[in-house]
Amino acid sequence: MKIGRPLLMIPGPIICDPEVLRALSKPTLSHVSPKFIEIFSKTLKGLKKIFLTEKGEIFVVAGSGTLAMEMAIVNICESGDNVLILSNGYFGERFKEICERYNLKVDYVEVKEWGENIQPETVREKMQRKEYKAVTLTHVDTSTSVSAKVKEIGKS
pLDDT digits (tens, 9 = 90+) for 42-79: 999 999 999 999 888 888 998 888 999 999 999 999 99
Yes or no: say if 118 and 153 are a contact pair by the CB < 8 Å rule.
yes
Q: What pLDDT does residue 119 have?
A: 92
Rounded CA separation 154/32 (Å): 39
What ranges make up the beta strands (E) of the chain? Answer: 82-87, 105-110, 134-137, 140-141, 146-147
Q: What pLDDT does residue 11 have?
A: 72
Q: What pLDDT does residue 132 have?
A: 97
Q: What pLDDT does residue 1 have?
A: 53
Positions in the chain whose pLDDT score sits under 70: 1-4
Yes or no: say if 86 and 137 are a contact pair by the CB < 8 Å rule.
yes
Q: What pLDDT does residue 2 have?
A: 60
Cα of first residue to Cα of last residue in the chain, in angstroms, is 44
Q: What pLDDT does residue 3 have?
A: 60
Rounded CA separation 60/96 (Å): 23
Domains of the chain: 12-60 (no CATH), 76-154 (3.40.50)
pTM comes to 0.74
